[in-house]
């Protein structure tokens, strides 16, 4: 049975979880401006998205281990402070190398903080109830990407791109203060009831959940391919303005919200393992639409927009259900288990999206092929997990 989670704590967890997409989406409209000011190609700045996600993976490995040992609250606070300091440092970057370094520091802090969110949920719920909590938090956090590009565009218009990261720093410090007051203190345990801390290798050796690691890692890779390459696809390849880009981005967020609500409704009738397979199938359909559009109608944007919306929206069903399926097997050591899941998710996605961005040299083929392959691997993982788990 789950313990009660206050509404204020749910909002805080959603806000911390939303920090990562917000810190990515806020500066997407500024990528061309940053590239121009630093005198580098736009792809070099766009690769900071993949670098940020790579740092999130490392941060989650650290945070998962420390949160099991020292408690969720202190680890979350430390991560948020590191994130905030890294954000402020980015605002003074005068070269692409400094931008990369500070972005990596920022992402380490973000990873340490966000891994505490699924661990706290697992501390309080499991199964369908956990899936519903993940879905509720996902709904709240979707406010972030829905407004982030507009916030970034507004700051860019009124001030400059440096203030985008100053704003993120203030946000990080603010959340750290709220975490101090809202996250429960860790319960002191005696030597008799303290669970044995598992190593990451022990978590990996649990073959029953390996399919879900693949499902989330490659399902999220599709999302990150979109985030990394959407500025090039929309603003450079199709030549839309920053304002139109924000509108197109918002369409994806509305799709995420719709699928999130659909997932919450379907969880009343179906288990998360069944729904996970269906939503990854939806993602694969969107990827195929994108591939067909690039193949036969490359000059028209409509098929590309439709494909992106379908496969990005599917993530609203993929992520909460994968977390619920995976974490139900880690009542103890949930921080380390969540750290491994999150690190594989972000590490795989950063590598996949980075490779796609590297090979995207003026055409859309790498993007289309990348999302199809990633969706296919995610579907295989979800089907394998469904066979092994009774969720």
Residue 296 lies inside a defined structural domain of this protein: yes
Answer yes or no: are the C-beta atoms of 241 and 157 closer than 8 Å.
no
Q: DSSP code of 361?
A: S
Nearest to 339 by CA among 183, 169, 84, 108: 108
Is residue 24 situated within a structural domain? yes
Listed range (133-137, 218-222, 377-381) with the worst mean pLDDT: 133-137
SS3 277: helix
Rg of the Cα trace of the chain?
A: 20
- Structure tokens of 273? 């393992």
Q: What's the pLDDT at 205?
A: 60
Domain of residue 369: give its range: 7-184+201-388
Does 190 fall in a domain? no
Per-residue model confidence as pLDDT tens digits over 59-115: 888 887 787 778 888 999 999 999 999 999 998 888 888 999 999 999 999 999 988
Q: What is the mean pLDDT of residues 10-33?
A: 82
Query: Poorest-confidence range of 3-12, 92-101, 113-122?
Result: 3-12
Residue 127's pLDDT band (cuts 50, 70, 90) = low
Give the model's pLDDT for residue 87: 92
Give per-residue pLDDT as tens, 180-209. Answer: 888 877 654 444 444 444 555 555 566 667
Q: Which residue has the tokens 């993929």?
A: 318
Instruction: Report the alpha-carbon distance of residue 60 to residue 257 in Å, rounded.
Output: 26
Tell me if 2 is assigned to some domain. no
Q: Quick one: average pLDDT of 243-252?
A: 85
The predicted-structure confidence for 293-315, as pLDDT tens digits, reads as follows 999 988 889 999 999 999 999 99
Which residue would you say has higher pLDDT here, 362 or 93? 93
User: Average pLDDT, whole number, for the chain?
Assistant: 82
Ramachandran quadrant class, 5 (left: phi over 0; alpha: psi -120 to 50; beta: rest):
beta
144/255 Cα distance (integer angstroms): 14
Q: Is residue 193 part of a domain?
A: no
- Domain CATH code at residue 146: 1.20.1250.20
For the residues 110-139, what does the mean pLDDT come to?
Answer: 76
Alpha-carbon span 287 to 317, nearest angstrom:
16
Q: Assess if residue 23 is contained within a domain.
A: yes
Domain assignment present for residue 1? The answer is no
Tell whether 207 is covered by a domain.
yes
The answer to whether 18 and 140 have CB atoms below 8 angstroms apart is yes
Please give the pLDDT value at position 204: 59
Token pair of 362, please? 């003026």
Q: What is the pLDDT of residue 190?
A: 42
The total of structural domains in the chain comes to 1
Confidence of residue 138 (pLDDT cuts 50, 70, 90): confident
pLDDT, one tens digit per residue, over 38-63 is 888 887 887 787 788 788 888 888 88
More confident residue, 275 or 264: 275
């Amino acid at each position: 049975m789950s313990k009660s989670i206050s509404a204020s704590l749910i909002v805080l967890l959603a806000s911390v979880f939303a920090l990562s997409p917000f810190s990515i989406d806020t500066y997407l409209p500024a990528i061309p401006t940053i590239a121009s000011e630093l005198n580098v190609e736009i792809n070099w700045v766009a690769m900071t998205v993949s670098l940020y996600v790579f740092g999130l993976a490392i941060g989650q490995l650290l945070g998962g281990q420390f949160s099991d040992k020292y408690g969720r609250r202190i680890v979350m606070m430390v991560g948020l402070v590191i994130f905030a300091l890294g954000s402020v440092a980015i605002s003074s970057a005068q070269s692409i190398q400094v931008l990369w370094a500070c972005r990596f520091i920022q992402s380490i802090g973000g990873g340490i903080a966000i891994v505490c969110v699924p661990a706290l949920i697992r501390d309080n719920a499991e199964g369908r109830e956990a899936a519903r909590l993940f879905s509720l938090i996902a709904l709240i956090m979707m406010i972030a990407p829905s407004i982030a590009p507009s916030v970034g565009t507004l700051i860019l218009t009124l001030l400059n791109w440096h203030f985008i990261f100053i704003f993120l720093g203030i946000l990080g410090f603010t959340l750290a203060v709220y975490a101090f007051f809202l996250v429960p203190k860790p319960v002191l345990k005696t030597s008799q009831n303290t669970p044995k801390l598992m190593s990451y290798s022990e978590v990996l050796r649990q073959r029953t959940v390996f399919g879900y690691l693949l499902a989330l890692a490659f399902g999220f890779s599709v999302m990150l391919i979109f985030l990394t390459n959407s500025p090039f696809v929309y603003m450079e390849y199709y030549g839309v303005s920053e304002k139109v880009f924000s509108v197109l981005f918002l369409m994806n967020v509305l799709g995420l919200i719709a699928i999130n609500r659909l997932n919450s409704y379907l969880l009343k009738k179906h288990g998360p393992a069944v729904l996970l397979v269906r939503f990854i199938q939806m993602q694969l359909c969107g990827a195929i639409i994108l591939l067909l559009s690039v193949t036969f109608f490359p000059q028209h944007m409509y098929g590309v927009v439709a494909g992106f919306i379908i496969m990005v929206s599917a993530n609203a069903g993929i992520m909460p259900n994968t977390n619920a399926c995976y974490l139900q097997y880690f009542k103890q050591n949930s921080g380390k288990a969540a750290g491994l899941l999150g690190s594989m998710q972000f590490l795989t996605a950063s590598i996949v999206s980075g490779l796609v961005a590297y090979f995207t040299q003026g055409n859309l083929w790498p993007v289309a092929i990348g999302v199809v392959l990633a969706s296919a691997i995610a579907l295989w993982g979800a089907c394998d997990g469904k066979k092994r788990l009774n969720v």
